[in-house]
Amino acid sequence: MKRQVVLVYFFCIIHTLTYSQHISPGDGRYLVQKEDSMKIQAAKILHGNDPANRLKADSLFTRIFMRALQVKHSFDYHFDSLETISQLYAPDSTFRIFTWQLVISENVIRYHGAIQMRTKDGSLKRFPLIDRSNVTVHIADTIGNNMGWIGALYYKIIQKKSFNKSYYTLLGYDENYVRSDRKFIEILSFENDEPIFGARLFSFENDTIFRPSLSRYVMEFKKEAGPRLTYDPDLDMIIAEHLVSESNEPNKRWTYVGDGDYEGFKWKNGKWVHVEKVYSYVTPLGKEPVPKPLLDKEGNINESQLKGNEEEEKPVPDSKTKPRKDTPIKKKGNSN
């Protein structure tokens, strides 16, 4: 049994060192140990029985996490077993961002996180993310640093450039509160090596109705409605499901659901330009394709269609040709 444990441990270390040859064997073993401890606390953050247990687990997780990041070249160690913790590397590998969710109550949900920068000597440079969404009034217009973060659980990162400056677009999810959820399109950039969240790069200049530009795109919708917000690499476009109030109450965001139509954002001239309709073709009302309409032009039932129109499809025999007995006569519309 002891030999099996040693072998498993050995393969964990080998797996760790494949990420970076810079991590020493001793540091690799230490990181594996810390990840095992973090995994236990991460599960408690999500599944703890009460708020006190979840808060305690979050505190323990954060302390262990910070110790792990202090290891030389920890940037190259992937915490792959932490399934409830989001970990996204920037496409240019200049930083990675961690985010996770802490549910205090059904009306109080907070997000925690950190940005870890890649450094030449492997030393730690990180920025804690402090969720201030509960005290931010105009979320779509707010620009701030990591100490005034609009909390979310990020699941996608897209890099774009304008005038040699990189902008990292983050797609995130926020469970918000008991009546509604939210999804964000967030801009992250760096000024003087400090992170900045939000940028007035969401333009609606091509829309039929004028709208001012935004610093952050916010989708708020009915709890568990689940509208799509994703990035399509083939179209090179962010795709968002269009939202409507299911009760015709546009001022009540918790009534919004996806209507099956899609809008989006396309990167043009250093900004995300809104596209009102991604898929432009719409079947005209009353022109939906049907294989065999049962109503004629006057709206009456076409009885020949109910009968299968057998007589119309039968070949008319003449003196020279007769239908073979082993050849079935097909009815119109039968594809089998």
Q: Which distant-in-sequence residues (6+ apart) come within 8 Å of 94 by Cβ?
A: 117, 118, 166
Q: b or e along 76-96 (b: 16 or more beta carbons within 10 Å of the residue's beta carbon)?
A: bbbbeebeebbebebeeeebb
Separation between Cα atoms, residue 216 and residue 199, nearest integer Å? 7
Q: How many helices (H) and strands (E) does the chain have?
A: 5, 14
Specify the pLDDT at position 233: 96
- Please answer whether residues 213 and 202 qualify as being in contact, where contact means their C-beta atoms are separated by less than 8 angstroms: yes
Strands (E) across the chain are located at 86-89, 95-105, 108-117, 126-130, 153-162, 165-174, 180-191, 194-197, 202-203, 217-222, 229-232, 237-245, 256-268, 271-275
Separation between Cα atoms, residue 201 and residue 161, nearest integer Å? 12
Q: What angle do CA 109, 110, 112 make, to 5 degrees?
A: 150
Domain presence at residue 19 = yes
Range of the domain at 72: 1-84
**Total tally of structural domains belonging to the chain:** 1
Domain presence at residue 187 = no
Domain presence at residue 267 = no
Question: Phi and psi dihedrals of 114, rounded to 5?
Answer: -160, 150
Q: What 3-state class would DSSP assign to 194?
A: strand
Going by pLDDT thresholds of 50, 70 and 90, the confidence category of residue 285 is low
Domain presence at residue 27 = yes
Q: What angle do CA 168, 173, 174 make, to 5 degrees?
A: 125
Domain presence at residue 292 = no
Q: Per-residue pLDDT for 275 more than 90?
A: yes
- Please answer whether residues 90 and 156 qualify as being in contact, where contact means their C-beta atoms are separated by less than 8 angstroms: no
State the residue for tokens 């109503």: 295
- Please answer whether residues 201 and 272 qualify as being in contact, where contact means their C-beta atoms are separated by less than 8 angstroms: yes
Going by pLDDT thresholds of 50, 70 and 90, the confidence category of residue 2 is very low
Rounded to two decimals, the pTM is: 0.78
Q: What is the CA radius of gyration of the chain?
A: 29
Domain presence at residue 20 = yes
Question: Phi and psi dihedrals of 298, rounded to 5?
Answer: -85, 0
Query: Tokens for 205?
Result: 């200049």
Question: Would the CA dihedral through 285, 287, 289, 294 be positive or negative?
Answer: positive
Span of 9-18, 116-125, 211-220 with lowest mean pLDDT:
9-18
Q: Which distant-in-sequence residues (6+ apart) come within 8 Å of 114 by Cβ?
A: 65, 69, 97, 98, 126, 127, 128, 129
Report which DSSP code applies to 202.
E
What secondary structure does DSSP assign to 210-259, as a single string?
----BSSEEEEEETT----EEEETTTTEEEEEEEEETTS-TT-GGGEEEE
**Which amino acid type is present at position 188?**
L
Separation between Cα atoms, residue 64 and residue 35, nearest integer Å? 8
Q: What 3-state class would DSSP assign to 133?
A: helix
Cα–Cα nearest to 50, from 113, 111, 106:
106
Span of 85-94, 164-173, 284-293 with lowest mean pLDDT:
284-293
Q: What rounded mean pLDDT belongs to the chain?
A: 85
Query: Tokens for 115?
Result: 């940005």
Going by pLDDT thresholds of 50, 70 and 90, the confidence category of residue 299 is low
Going by pLDDT thresholds of 50, 70 and 90, the confidence category of residue 241 is very high
Domain presence at residue 112 = no
Domain presence at residue 137 = no
What average pLDDT score do residues 192-217 get? 96
